[in-house]
Amino acid sequence: MRTFIAIDINSEVRSIAEEVIEKLKKMGFKASWTSPENLHLTLFFMGDLSEEKVDLLAQRLHKRLAGFPSFSYEVSDFGFFRFKHLPRVFFLKVTQDKILQTLYLEMRSELKKLRLSFDDKGNFVPHITLGRLKFSPENWEELIKGITVPKTIVSVDKVTIYSSTLTPAGPIYKWLYKVKFEGGLEKNEQ
């Protein structure tokens, strides 16, 4: 199953994301927009893993992250990744801080020990993807200058392992495990 590890967002960030997506649509941007229930901060995308590997991964992360301190991250702005002269991905910026970076590095080390392959570009840029662009209006840079995002704090006390099933209507995400820093491991039995 296609698998990734993410940090969930809160309802406040979800509302902000929905407002920003609506503004972008009205401006004429066309994209594969992320549906509100699928918004998250991706830590690792691992591709296809067997159920046994996912179970092992959950157990190992549970051990590694037990006692990791709860923390908060800040959603602070709107941004984009560019390809040539056009935006390719719109996102909400997440302020990089030491605790989030430490969490990423701890988990990365565990994935390497398990010899799991994952999308590793070597530079972790935390963000919440709003959409992958298909079309941008000519004056796109001027248009997006007006997009503002209120600073919002998101509390984190766990990471979630998800499966992603691709469908013509878009991906369907299902949580498989919630790895809690205070020492709990919750499995989705459905």
Residue of 21, 49, 111, 127 marked catalytic: 127
Active site residue 62: no
DSSP string, the chain: -EEEEEEE--HHHHHHHHHHHHHHHHTT-EEEEPPGGG-EEEEEEEEE--HHHHHHHHHHHHHHHTTPPPEEEEEEEEEEEEETTEEEEEEEEE---HHHHHHHHHHHHHHHHTT------S----EEEEEEEEE--TTHHHHHTT-----EEEEESEEEEEEEE--TT--EEEEEEEEETTS-EEE---
Active site residue 40: yes
Residue of 24, 29, 40, 156 marked catalytic: 40
The residues annotated as belonging to the active site are 40, 127
